[in-house]
Copies of this chain bind each other. A is one copy, B any other.
Amino acid sequence: MSRMRHSRCTGPMTRHYTPIKTNDKNIKEMYNFEFKNPVKLIFGKGTIARIAEEIPARSKVMLTFGGGSVKRNGVYEQVMKALAGRDVVEFWGIEPNPKYETLVEAISLARREGVDFLLAVGGGSVIDGTKFIAAAIPYEGEAWDIITRHDAVTKAVPLATVLTLPATGSEMNNGAVISRRSTHEKFPFHSDLVYPRFSVLDPCVTFSLPKKMVAAGLADTFVHVMEQYMTYPVDARVMDRWAEGLLQTVMEISPAAMSDEPDYDTMANFMLCATMGLNGFIAMGVPQDWATHMIGHELTALHEITHGVTLAIVLPQLLRVMRDDKHDKLLQYAERVLGITDGDDESRIDDAIRRTEEYFHSLGIATRLSDYGVGQNTVDEIVRRFTERGAVWGERNDVTPDKVRMILEKAL
């Protein structure tokens, strides 16, 4: 099950060559790493029109969409205007936590139409789903192999994105998370072949987002950064400062982003934080956790709770359960990100975790499982799944099924 040990963010984007030793608290040096991210960002006001020059003129383009919000906020119109006269086909209905059952329909359509370029117009779910479609179109076996077989993806149709929801970072990485309705499962896959050729980020498209989605996007961004930061110190000073800069920025802009009329700069900073939070830029040479994500994926798979919300539920309790492992970084976070300098070590850590949870509450996100009607049965099922898969997570691989139980029971 070694494949399952890789979250969406520890894939080929930033490979570490020095193995992370379980339970070795004495590691101090930065890890060796490899970094490459070929995605072209096109950022700013009025940039959607730029897709015309970026997509090869003679391509047969499949546009992929979610549920239709892009028709209400003008994004669809801008895309179609830019592609006027081009040979395009549309696929609608990629849902939140994109489902395999839906994506196979898109794959059939693309094959039938001879599509050779994909443009995802939407948030992380549409983009993730489109990455799967891109890899599946030329794949000859059962498309689900892409999730379960490490070596399945050997070619892919080129894809690009027009981002409408800052959150997942999928617009600038090589990962995707795909769900299967029939089995209530949700798994990540990675391939360097599914990096978007380009991603258009126009902050203006975010003005019409419902507050619940802004909140989930902020929480998602915050936790992405935490998964790469809140581990143990390896004296990676640049990465620490950059992660702290993203956490500070996300917290600073949150009140304005959640207001009735967010300004351009707020949403531009939000969009940049979301993309920079999961594009490998802050992952160089540092240990990573991803236990919060893997537990969160199960909550979504079983109960369709929004991804960012699941992270806000899990993270505070994970920090409580793993506080000894994360002791030094929790203190650094308390001081540098939250400005907590009073009290002894343990009380500063208490404060830092409490304020992290309060931050999620400030976004209007409830952080108890009972708030979502989730109880002990779900805890038992998730622990059963982790035990069956032999999956352990965390920067020291010590978030065992027992720890998962403790984390989730604290969140009940």
Contact = CB atoms under 8 A, between A and B. Distances in A.
Interface in A79-111: none
Contact of A252 (B29, B33, B38, B237): B237
A267 B408 CA distance: 42
Interface in A224-282: 234-242, 244-246, 248-249, 252-253, 264-265, 268-269, 272-273, 276, 281
Residue among A33, A36, A238 with the most chain B CB within 10 A?
A238
Nearest to A34: B42
Copies of this chain, whole number = 2
Nearest to A172: B35
A157 to B, nearest CB: 20
B45 A40 contact: no
A371 to B, nearest CB: 31
A241 B276 CA distance: 13
A31 to B, nearest CB: 7
Given A238-B273, A248-B241, A249-B237, A34 B28 contact: no
Nearest to A266: B235
Contact of A265 (B40, B235, B273): B235
A284 interface: yes
A39 B30 CA distance: 20
B17 A238 contact: no
A238 B272 contact: yes
Nearest to A253: B237
Contact of A32 (B39, B44, B248, B284): B44
Contacts of A37: 37
A198 B358 CA distance: 44
Given A18-B44, A30-B268, A38 B38 contact: yes
A400 interface: no
A40 B242 CA distance: 20
A43 interface: yes
Given A237-B252, A242-B245, A249-B241, A30 B265 contact: yes
A38 B38 CA distance: 5
Contacts of A235: 265, 268-269
Closest 8 pairs between A and B when the two form their complex, measured CB to CB: A32-B44, A241-B245, A36-B40, A235-B265, A35-B41, A237-B249, A237-B269, A30-B268
